[in-house]
Structure 1
Amino acid sequence: MQDASRFEFIKSQHVASLTVLRAAIEDFSYDRHAHEEYAFGVTLSGRQDFFSGGQFHKSPPGNVILFNPEEVHDGQSGGEHTLDYLMLYVAPSQLHPMFAEVLGQPNNAIFRSSKTLIQDVRLRTAILQLARLVTQSTASCIDQENTLYRIVERIVQLSGAQHTEQRTSRPDALLQRAKAYIHAHLTQDISLEEISQAAHLSKYHFLRLFRQHYGITPHQYVINCRINAARAALLEGASLVDVALRYGFSDASHFNRRFKRIFGMTPSQYRRDIAR
């Protein structure tokens, strides 16, 4: 029996970190997770229901959805109709120079959107246009780069981006220590005690604080980071079994199940899509 939901990833042949996801969801729900990239999406039909930023959202057709890097979210179809949507994923290293240029700053600027849902025709049109350009083999590099720049420019014009050079609160700083420890030990069997010690917090205070700040548990975050690292290793040519074992999954089947709950497809299917 085939899945009723469909997912397709298309990698840009011109802009190194740009990937398009086209999805139709009927009977699938994403686990709470976070991507390393910025994500710009448009709900095409149906309704997109998801958690992000500590609250639940409902996106009708035509809405733009913005996710910052490492912003926790999930997602599923809302209502009775199939959810059709597309997302653009772009690495921060690709966008930070663009944000800096738009705002007239001399160096790379790190920005986070203060808005998750936006109703704006110009921004929606630019996202849809870039998705079309990526899927058309005749589109040029300058076409894609120019449209991506227009997306960044419009986000700034809508005042939905904020510079992150702000004072970091003590809880934020402590949790950043924990996240750094997790990233540095992804291939090891780390414990909650070890992570909380890295944050200089008691184990259960850390657990409660982490969940309050990010909407997921430290364990869920570790799994998410391992999936993202494993995805990168797969795209560099590593074997599925080696990647699964390297990042702490008991076997390829366990890795497949976890991966599919974040990307909607198995690691092998994802790598095949990206390699086209």
Structure 2
Amino acid sequence: MGNASRFQFIKSQHVPSLTVLHAAMEDFSYDRHAHEEYAFGVTLAGRQDFFSGGQFHRSPPGNVILFNPEEVHDGQSGGERALNYLMLYVHPEQVKPLFANALGNEHGANFRSHQTLIQDAPLRQAIVELARLVTSQTGSRIDQENALYWVVARTAQLGGVAQSSQVSTRPDTLLGLAKAYIHAHLDRDISLDDISEAAHLSKYHFLRLFRQHYGITPHQYVINCRINAARSSLDSGAPLTEVALRFGFADLSHFNRRFKRIYGMTTHQYQRDIAR
């Protein structure tokens, strides 16, 4: 990654799990990955090209991008102008009661948007305003909570589905067992045999089914989950080398290479941003 791409993470001082990313990209491409959080973004300049949900998307300035938790995507600058965008990340537990309130029922707590690219001025303005409050460190906790509520409320108005209302298929259930096993053993040296056995599938069938459903391989998913878990440890100020070894990376250099492909910066740079 050259000097033409810049990334800055700003953590809310008032709302737990709320983080803002400001990014300027010319010569950087994200690996396919997924976050545990909801991600609400706005393309500010240039064009944002990315894969998600089995489709390739192009987001011009003014568009809103919305990723549900664990939704696989990548991203890069498209067109001739440099890409500039912002993204809000917030953990599902933080917004479950907000979605439930906005939709008027408890099933709304597990809301998932059915749209990835959205052209909606009120939602765009709500995202930009919340990002401004966090970035400038202005307003009280209730100001930021209220701004977050309007992001959630407008997202809910634009449509989606509560997970509890969806009918689970047998592959969903079996792959859910595999994912649960992975999350429970992130700090261990697990194998494909271990994971496929947890899913009650042959290794061949498991590999084909997993990639078909999620758009990444089980190996990519394991690395992604380890990076996300490591990021939480970095947020708490844990020593970099200790975090790297805890989550199965050979050394800090290996950890940094993997981390940068998803977050655009080294672990030291990320921890420095979050500590501000």
Pair in the same fold by TM > 0.5: yes
Query: Residue 97 of structure 1 contacts residue 107 of structure 1 at CA under 8 Å; is this kept in 2?
Result: no
1:20 corresponding residue in structure 2: 20
The one-letter code of the counterpart of 1:191 is: S
1:110 corresponding residue in structure 2: 110
The one-letter code of the counterpart of 2:137 is: S
By how many angstroms is 1:2 displaced?
5.2
Query: Residue 62 of structure 2 contacts residue 119 of structure 2 at CA under 8 Å; is this kept in 1?
Result: yes
By how many angstroms is 1:106 displaced?
4.3
CA-to-aligned-CA distance 1:60-97 (integer Å, 9 cap, x gap): 00000000011000000001210000000001001110
Query: Residue 18 of structure 1 contacts residue 89 of structure 1 at CA under 8 Å; is this kept in 2?
Result: yes
Provide the rounded CA distance (Å) in 1 between the counterparts of 2:12 and 2:242. Answer: 27
2:191 matched to 1:191? Answer: yes
Query: Residue 52 of structure 1 contacts residue 72 of structure 1 at CA under 8 Å; is this kept in 2?
Result: yes
2:145 matched to 1:145? Answer: yes
Label 1:106 to 1:214 Cα distance change in 2 as closer, same or farther (>3 A): closer
By how many angstroms is 1:108 displaced?
6.9
Q: Any idea what SS the aligned residue of 1:254 has?
A: helix
- 107-116 vs 188-197, greater mean Cα deviation: 107-116
1:227 corresponding residue in structure 2: 227
Aligned pairs, how many? 275
2:258 corresponding residue in structure 1: 258
TM-score, structure 2 normalization: 0.97
1:120 corresponding residue in structure 2: 120
1:49 corresponding residue in structure 2: 49
Provide the rounded CA distance (Å) in 1 between the counterparts of 2:40 and 2:92. Answer: 12
Provide the rounded CA distance (Å) in 1 between the counterparts of 2:62 and 2:107. Answer: 34
Provide the rounded CA distance (Å) in 2 between the counterparts of 1:76 and 1:17. Answer: 25
1:199-214 matched pairs, under 5 angstroms: 199-214=199-214
- Provide structure 1 residue ranges, at least 5 long, that are not aligned to the other structure: none
1:163 corresponding residue in structure 2: 162
Provide the rounded CA distance (Å) in 1 between the counterparts of 2:52 and 2:2. Answer: 30
1:40-79 matched pairs, under 5 angstroms: 40-79=40-79
- Provide structure 2 residue ranges, at least 5 long, that are not aligned to the other structure: none
Query: Residue 41 of structure 1 contacts residue 65 of structure 1 at CA under 8 Å; is this kept in 2?
Result: yes
CA-to-aligned-CA distance 1:175-234 (integer Å, 9 cap, x gap): 000000001111111111110111011101100110010000000000000001111112
The one-letter code of the counterpart of 1:48 is: Q
1:180 corresponding residue in structure 2: 180
1:133 corresponding residue in structure 2: 133
Q: Any idea what SS the aligned residue of 1:43 has?
A: strand
Provide the rounded CA distance (Å) in 2 between the counterparts of 1:153 and 1:238. Answer: 35
Provide the rounded CA distance (Å) in 2 between the counterparts of 1:183 and 1:134. Answer: 30
- 97-106 vs 83-92, greater mean Cα deviation: 97-106
CA-to-aligned-CA distance 1:124-173 (integer Å, 9 cap, x gap): 000001111111223221221111111111111112x2111122100000
2:98 matched to 1:98? Answer: yes
Provide the rounded CA distance (Å) in 1 between the counterparts of 2:115 and 2:108. Answer: 21
By how many angstroms is 1:4 displaced?
1.2
Provide the rounded CA distance (Å) in 2 between the counterparts of 1:208 and 1:61. Answer: 37
Query: Residue 107 of structure 2 contacts residue 162 of structure 2 at CA under 8 Å; is this kept in 1?
Result: no
Provide the rounded CA distance (Å) in 2 between the counterparts of 1:191 and 1:228. Answer: 19
Label 1:106 to 1:52 Cα distance change in 2 as closer, same or farther (>3 A): closer
Provide the rounded CA distance (Å) in 1 between the counterparts of 2:2 and 2:178. Answer: 41
The one-letter code of the counterpart of 1:57 is: H
- 228-237 vs 251-260, greater mean Cα deviation: 228-237
Q: Any idea what SS the aligned residue of 1:97 has?
A: helix
Question: Which segments of structure 1 move beyond 6 Å, counting only runs of 4 or more?
Answer: none
Q: Percent identity?
A: 74
Q: Any idea what SS the aligned residue of 1:272 has?
A: helix
Q: Any idea what SS the aligned residue of 1:216 has?
A: coil
Query: Root-mean-square deviation (CA), in Å?
Result: 1.2
The one-letter code of the counterpart of 2:232 is: A
Query: Residue 237 of structure 2 contacts residue 271 of structure 2 at CA under 8 Å; is this kept in 1?
Result: no
By how many angstroms is 1:237 displaced?
2.6
